[in-house]
Structure 1
Amino acid sequence: MTFPVLQTARLQLIEVQAEHAPAIFDVFSNTEVIKYYGMDPFKEVEQAEKMVGHFRTTYESKRGIRWAIVIEEDNRLVGTIGLNNLALGMKKAEIGFEIHPDFWRNGITSEALRAVLNYSFEELQLHRMGAVTFPANNASIGLLEKHGFQKEGELRNFLFQNNQSHDAFIFSLLHTEWNTN
């Protein structure tokens, strides 16, 4: 099973490998990155190594695909993006992403999202892409809406972080609504 590599104007979306663990740790140990992620920040690089293994296992079991977002110019991993809860038979998945704050607000996540959505709808033939966000995560909500996602509702006490439950918003984008422009 060959991992799908996606190419954009500035990025390569590639399989997350063991050598990416330090960069993954740099992203997931940053409190600003995981503020709305539904998990606590990493404390040790071993946590990133386990995450890399989890990404591989999830891909091999066809339950998800996680790409490393790599700046092609300098081969630097700046975040990840991927499909969670992938159900090929049901033609659906959920999108998830995170990026290091040094690369916020410069279109990288949007560029990666566009490539993954195109792959998901055109190659995998998915019919529905979902997304779950914290209600206060305005940046992710804006990015999802920019790409045509519609808010469907609120999930009460859906996420657990910092020893408390949090509500979440659920968004979706259907293949029939997807516009590659």
Structure 2
Amino acid sequence: MRSGTAGRAQPTLTTERLTLAPLVPDHTDGLVALFADPRASRYFPADFSDEQAARALVTSRLAFAGPPQLGYWTWLLDGQVVGLGHLQPARDLPGELIETGWCVRPDLWRQGVATEAIGALLDYALSGLHLPAVWALVDGKNAPSIRFAHRLGFLSVGERLLDEGMAQVFVRPADHQL
């Protein structure tokens, strides 16, 4: 692992195929293209097929001001932006919980990219930061992401009203064996 962006302790992570780099402005155009694809953002509460809305989303992610070892990571495959994931204090769950989330380019679905990336973020969070657990909220209609969360060892612990719909609440305890 190498150090992250200036003023942050967020590391760059690597997997067999990917570099998970702390989000920087140079990633904006690739992420705007990702979020503007209706297949990638269909479970988001806003319509990001409008480029301005997608750009505003990326700008809001760039403004992350949470703990310096947490934040957003852009997933790079052969230098190209292919996804985005995060570790951050949970906005929609009580307490001091840390949550993760993900979005991957649709042409790379079911090719193990998200498994590699989120696996690396979970390893960093649970082993590197010694967090007791990582949480995730997944739109209740997003069956592929619900199956993905289960494959990564997340346990479904309930539901929560979120963005005018129901979200599945998941937790991945540090001591959970796959």
TM-superposition CA deviations, 1:54-73 (whole Å, max 9, x none): 33432x431841100000xx
Residue 47 of structure 1 deviates from its aligned partner by: 4.5
Closer/same/farther in 2, CA of residues 127 and 92 from structure 1, 3 Å limit: farther
* SS of the residue 2:63 aligns to: helix
Q: Which residue of 2 aligns with 1:125?
A: 130
Equivalent residue for 1:15? 22
Q: How many angstroms does 1:42 deviate by?
A: 4.5
Over the residues paired in the alignment, what is the CA RMSD in angstroms? 2.2
| 1:98 aligned partner | 103
Q: Which amino acid aligns with 1:69?
A: W
Q: What is the rounded CA distance, in whole Å, between the counterparts of 1:175 and 1:70 in structure 2?
A: 26
Instruction: From 96, 115, 118, give the equivalent of 1:113.
Output: 118
Say whether residues 1:85 and 2:89 are aligned partners: yes
Residue equivalent to 1:159:
162
The AA in structure 2 aligned to 1:31 is: P
Cα contact 1:16–1:52 (8 A) shared by 2 = no
The TM-score normalised by the length of structure 2 is 0.84
Superposition deviation, residue 86 in structure 1: 5.6
- Paired position in structure 1 for 2:5: none
Does the CA-based 8 Å contact 1:33-1:101 persist in structure 2?
yes
Amino acid at match of 1:166: G
> Match for residue 142 of structure 2?
137
Task: After TM superposition, give the deviation of residue 126 of structure 1 in Å.
Answer: 0.8
Letter in 1 for 2:143: N
Flag the 1:56–1:29 CA change in 2: closer, same or farther, 3 A. Answer: closer
Deviations 1:67-99 (A, max 9, x none): 00000xx20011101113269xx7731110001
- The separation in 2 between residues aligned to 1:46 and 1:151, in whole angstroms, is 31
Number of positions where the alignment pairs a residue of Structure 1 with one of Structure 2: 167
**In 2, Cα distance between the equivalents of 1:22 and 1:102?**
17
| 46 and 131 in structure 1: CA distance in 2 versus 1, 3 angstrom threshold | closer
Residue matched to 1:147: 152
Distance 2:114 2:144 in 1: 11
| Runs of 5+ consecutive residues of structure 2 not aligned to the other structure | 1-7
Alpha-carbon distance in structure 2 between the residues aligned to 1:146 and 1:46: 31
The TM-score with structure 1 as length reference comes to 0.83
Counterpart CA distance in 1 for 2:35 and 2:58 is: 12
Unpaired stretches in structure 1, ≥5 consecutive residues: none
Are 2:73 and 2:85, in contact at CA under 8 Å, matched by a contact in 1? yes
